[in-house]
Chains A and B, each alone.
Chain A
Amino acid sequence: MKNRKQLLETIIHGIFLVLGLITVGCVLIISIYLVISGIPAIREIGLVDFLFGKKWASTAAEPSYGILPFILTSVYGTAGAIVIGVPIGFMTAVYLAKLANPKVKSVVQGAVSLLAGIPSVVYGLVGMLTLVPAIRILFHVPDGASLLAAIIVLAVMILPSIINVSMTALEAVPKEYEDASLALGATPVETYFRVSVPAAKSGIAAAVVLGVGRAIGEAMAIMMVAGNAPNMPSLFQSVRFLTTAVSSEMSYAADGSLQKQALFSIALVLFLFIMLINATLNFFLKRSKEN
């Protein structure tokens, strides 16, 4: 009887171990696969020519594979989305966590979760049909598909993660801190910005980094609004991101061609970017736990 119980225990242990290893295995397989398939093209093109080349013409008779425009576009696009999205998201979080009455809070929170659940292709479609023509008419440019359109779409897309994570951080601030500040004569708004926000700053920083991660990895929505021409980034120019560079050409690139290998190299560069962002995120999350 006892033996049987032990056996059952062992079986369950084994199952959990396998399930755990599946996740680890996936990460390992993807990382190794990306590195193995990403290195050959970089070696053939040359690291400097690849990373700092300004011209991408993968199917031309004399192809050139420079991804500087994609890297810069991804960096500018993400930075732009953060510049627009973080103030809005952060203020919303402060309002929801501290100021809003419960009814308003539940409505707004519901809307935020809904926003998080909208598929990215829908963001792209709405952007393509409304935002792109609006930019064309408002700014008198020949075509609205541009870096600006992508930035606006990304800014909206990162709002839910910024709001949710900063709100959690703000709500975790001990009430005693705020009570002490209020008792000393500070107004509620002063208290929120001088006491609660500084106390939650690692959590808020984590929210921003999470937003960066979401923005830099998005492909579908911006593919539909950014125009996808491999130009150097400029606000009203059609641009191509690291993600869209991979996805727009991958389905057509012939197996084993330098083009396909170069697409894997782009994915590798993107992967390294995201690893860096994740490391930063972990750093902030750890710090906010220690606090």
Chain B
Amino acid sequence: MKKIISFLLIAVFAVSTLAGCSSQAGGSVSTDGSTSMESVIGALGEAFENENSGVKFTYNPTGSGSGITAVAAGRCDIGLSSRALKDEEKANGLTETVLAYDGIAIVVNPENPVSDLDLETIAKIYTGQITNWSEVGGNDGEIVLIGREAGSGTRDGFESITGTEDACKYRQELTATGDVITTVSSNPNAIGYASLASVKDTVKAISVGGVVPTEETVKDGSYAVQRPFVLVTKTDTKLSEVAQKFFDFALSTEANDIITGAGVVPAN
């Protein structure tokens, strides 16, 4: 008898722990994806929450690849990607909507006298054909290449724009934009790349082919190192009412100020 009772109790407890997983609450928008989009999507989400009381906005910074997977699997409403969708991803039933354009700044230490490189030279530096700053008009010193980890949207963007896919001879592969900035700011011979929005005064963003990275040059396309920020949705599934409202809000002209405030250039 005692055994039966304790067994039943175990069963009850086991079931009750499993019952903890509840379904999604109404009135929420979940986004998931690119870490580079953190500042822009955070600002948009905050503004949206302020305008629509009771709506809960969540952003899960996992990376473009994970965001695309998450929206395809239905784990979030809107996926965030800092690269254009690949053809096979579109074929899998996903749609991209460009939210904004982000310039990728090439950053060096402020002590470094080099302030302009062209795209070709940057590619040569990153593939190891140029290894000393004196070859490009700087001081004598081995160039230290700082990059992001494999799969990062910024790395993907940088490598595809400069045509250096799989060929970069990184000295360091860091997992966050902030780490890249910190590392470059503490090593006079370092060069790195980071989203223009997150560049701080501790590093110097160089001009590429004579064009200084600013909002204007990114928007008019004259600054070469840039990439789209994309909202990813399912082609054949309708967004929930709230999610659709957020989607429209993010692409509306009234959101442009917020997007600009986050340091990227609105697409509309």
Contacts and interface: CB of A to CB of B under 8 A. Distances in A.
Contact of B73 (A228, A238, A255): A255
Contacts of A291: none
A15 B12 CA distance: 11
A60 interface: yes
A253 B69 CA distance: 10
A162 interface: no
A251 B66 contact: yes
Contacts of B175: 223, 228, 247-248
B183 A128 contact: yes
B125 to A, nearest CB: 13
Contacts of A144: 187
A58 interface: yes
A104 interface: no
B19 to A, nearest CB: 14
A227 B147 CA distance: 10
B63 interface: yes
B260 interface: no
Contact of B172 (A13, A227, A254): A227
A10 interface: yes
Contacts of A247: 175
A249 interface: yes
Nearest to A62: B166
B141 interface: yes
B62 interface: yes
B90 interface: no
A132 B65 contact: no
A251 B172 contact: no
B9 interface: yes
A142 interface: yes
Interface stretch (B50-58, B95-103, B149-157, B249-257): B149-157
A10 B171 contact: no
Interface residues of B, number: 38
A6 B189 CA distance: 75
Interface in B13-71: 13-14, 62-66, 68-69
A194 B173 CA distance: 48
A210 B30 CA distance: 42
B6 interface: yes
B232 to A, nearest CB: 13
A150 B64 CA distance: 29
Contacts of B69: 254-255
Contacts of A169: none
Interface residues of A, number: 40
B166 A252 contact: no
A204 interface: no
A10 to B, nearest CB: 5
Interface string B133-166: 0000000011110000111100000000000011
A133 interface: yes
Interface string B173-184: 111000100110
Nearest to B68: A254
Given A59-B150, A128-B182, A132-B186, A145 B172 contact: yes
Nearest to B173: A228
A228 B174 contact: yes
B91 interface: no
Contacts of A6: 2
B182 A251 contact: no
Given A10-B5, A252-B150, A254-B65, 4 more contacts: A21-B10, A142-B141, A253-B65, A253-B151
Shortest 10 CB-CB contacts between residues of A and residues of B: A252-B151, A14-B9, A60-B166, A142-B142, A227-B172, A59-B150, A228-B173, A252-B63, A14-B6, A143-B144
Interface of B: 2, 5-6, 9-10, 13-14, 62-66, 68-69, 73, 141-144, 149-152, 165-166, 170-175, 179, 182-183, 186-187, 189-190
25 contacts: A10-B2, A15-B9, A17-B6, A17-B10, A18-B13, A21-B10, A59-B150, A60-B165, A60-B166, A129-B186, A132-B183, A142-B171, A143-B144, A143-B190, A144-B187, A145-B183, A224-B174, A227-B173, A228-B149, A238-B173, A247-B175, A249-B149, A251-B62, A252-B64, A252-B65
